[in-house]
């Protein structure tokens, strides 16, 4: 048994390192040959997770064919907007019998598809599970306690990934609700941007809690309308990931919101974060879908307005505060 992890960002690196530390043969595929050489030679990823040492046994390569050649299990930790391109390259290589695990959190802008649907289009018939939950890379790489959920339409596939990934520091639960797991993972990033802005503007803990909670209502409203199980969204992939993302400066989406709230342009805020800010991309596909489906997502719409429509933060906040009062719980 051998693992190939595609994507040498912070989370891909942390997951690959966790597997290698447990004595499992693991190779990390890097898009950048220089990055692969540095990881292989000095056992660090200075571009991501700077300051953390990596397992000496962790291999790294920029050759996709080499990474896939002997791998039985393939983990994709690729930003959602780049996932299709990577899978199209994978498709041209021998992949029969390999099992895939997607860690991507987002919605493809061009198609409005979640990661598992991108897999279905590019690699039809592939054995696939999706994993999500509150799991900051900076804590996973330090073996701090983490709990996540592995979801697959095939229970045996979900249980297989549970058996491979579970450890005393990395607890894995299973689910059959792939849509719910990926929907919670995608939308919480948008809500975290809003919470980051509120913190930068010093609107207080009450506002922070209100945004996170009403953000959960938006996740539930959208998820249920799309066919997700509400219990999934009340679990690790929904509430759990939302809490971690909205209440930690490890969260790149929260830090992005902080920077925007402090007056930086979205472009400069993304540069400051130094990682892909999935929520800033997801909100475009999210609001487009919600408008077509007639689903009300005021917080997501507010984030879209100040990122892409030129609205001021003051206008967005005022728009949220002066909305017509409504019951807390209402039909989706």
Establish if 309 belongs to a structural domain.
yes
Cross-strand partners of 5: 28, 75
236 pLDDT above the threshold of 70:
yes
Establish if 328 belongs to a structural domain.
no
Mean pLDDT value of segment 241-266? 93
Report how far apart, in Å, the C-alpha atoms of 194 and of each of 207, 251, 259, 304 are: 10, 13, 11, 10
pLDDT at position 282: 93
pLDDT at position 324: 81
Same domain assignment for residues 186 and 92: no
pLDDT category at 330 given cuts 50, 70, 90 is low
Establish if 331 belongs to a structural domain.
no
Model's pTM, two decimal places? 0.92
Same domain assignment for residues 168 and 246: no
Question: For residue 320, how many C-alpha atoms fall within 13 Å in the half-sphere facing its CB?
Answer: 22
Establish if 329 belongs to a structural domain.
no
The b-or-e profile of 284-318 (16+ CB within 10 A means b, else e) is bbbbebbeeeebbbebbbbbbbbbeeebebeebbe
Same domain assignment for residues 134 and 166: yes
Q: Based on the structure, what is the number of domains in the chain?
A: 2
pLDDT at position 254: 95
Same domain assignment for residues 244 and 311: yes
- Where do the H-state alpha helices sit in the chain? 10-21, 33-42, 64-69, 80-91, 115-122, 137-140, 155-165, 178-200, 205-226, 230-233, 241-246, 252-261, 266-273, 278-293, 298-308, 313-321
Same domain assignment for residues 101 and 201: no
pLDDT category at 331 given cuts 50, 70, 90 is low
pLDDT at position 314: 87
DSSP string, 255-284: HHHHHHHTT--HHHHHHHH-S--HHHHHHH
pLDDT at position 276: 84
Same domain assignment for residues 249 and 314: yes
pLDDT at position 169: 94
Residue that finishes a domain, picked among 158, 176, 194:
176
Establish if 313 belongs to a structural domain.
yes
Look-up of token digits 């979205």: 266
Tell me the CATH number at 316: 1.10.1040.10
Report how far apart, in Å, the C-alpha atoms of 140 and of each of 29, 40, 118, 144, 326 are: 19, 20, 27, 6, 40
Same domain assignment for residues 163 and 209: no
Same domain assignment for residues 58 and 140: yes
pLDDT category at 93 given cuts 50, 70, 90 is very high
Establish if 330 belongs to a structural domain.
no
Catalytic residues: 188
Establish if 61 belongs to a structural domain.
yes
Same domain assignment for residues 234 and 200: yes
Mean pLDDT value of segment 101-113? 94
Same domain assignment for residues 247 and 287: yes
140 pLDDT above the threshold of 60:
yes
pLDDT in tens, 17-56: 999 999 999 999 999 999 999 999 999 998 888 889 999 9
- What does DSSP assign to residue 162? H
Task: Provide the percentage of residues in the chain whose pLDDT is more than 70.
Answer: 99
Same domain assignment for residues 15 and 162: yes
Tell me the CATH number at 122: 3.40.50.720
Give residue 59's domain range: 3-176
Residue that finishes a domain, picked among 157, 176, 195:
176
Q: How far apart are alpha carbons 68 and 71 in whole angstroms?
A: 5
Same domain assignment for residues 215 and 301: yes
pLDDT category at 321 given cuts 50, 70, 90 is confident
Mean pLDDT value of segment 165-170? 95
pLDDT in tens, 274-300: 888 999 999 999 999 999 999 999 999
């Amino acid at each position: 048994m051998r693992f190939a992890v595609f994507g040498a960002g912070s989370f891909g690196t942390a997951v690959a390192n966790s597997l290698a530390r447990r004595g499992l043969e693991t190779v990390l595929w890097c898009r950048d040959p220089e990055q692969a050489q540095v990881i292989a030679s000095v056992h660090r990823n200075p571009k991501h997770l700077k300051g953390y040492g990596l397992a000496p046994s962790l291999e790294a390569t920029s050759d996709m064919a080499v990474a896939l050649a002997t791998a039985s299990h393939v983990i994709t930790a690729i930003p959602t907007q780049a996932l299709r391109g990577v899978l199209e390259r994978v498709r041209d290589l021998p992949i029969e019998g390999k099992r895939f695990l997607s860690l991507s959190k987002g919605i493809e802008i061009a198609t409005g598809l979640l990661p598992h649907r991108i897999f279905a289009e590019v690699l039809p018939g592939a054995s696939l599970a999706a994993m999500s939950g509150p799991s900051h890379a900076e804590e996973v790489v330090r073996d701090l306690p983490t709990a996540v959920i592995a979801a697959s339409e095939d229970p045996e596939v979900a249980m297989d990934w549970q058996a491979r990934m579970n450890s005393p520091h990395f607890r894995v639960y299973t689910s059959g609700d792939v849509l719910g797991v990926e929907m919670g993972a995608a939308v919480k990033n948008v809500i975290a941007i809003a919470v980051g802005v509120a913190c930068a503007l010093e609107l207080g803990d009450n506002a922070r809690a209100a945004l996170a909670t009403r953000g959960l209502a938006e996740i539930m409203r959208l998820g249920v309308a799309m066919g997700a199980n509400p219990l999934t969204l009340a679990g690790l992939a929904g509430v759990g990931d939302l809490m971690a993302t909205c209440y930690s400066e490890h969260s790149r989406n929260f830090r992005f919101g902080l920077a925007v709230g402090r007056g930086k342009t979205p472009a400069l805020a993304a540069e400051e974060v130094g990682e892909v800010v999935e929520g800033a991309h997801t909100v475009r596909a999210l609001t487009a879908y919600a408008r077509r489906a007639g689903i009300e997502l005021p917080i997501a719409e507010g984030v879209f307005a100040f990122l892409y429509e030129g609205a001021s933060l003051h206008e967005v906040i005022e728009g949220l505060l002066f909305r017509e009062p409504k019951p807390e719980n209402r039909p989706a």
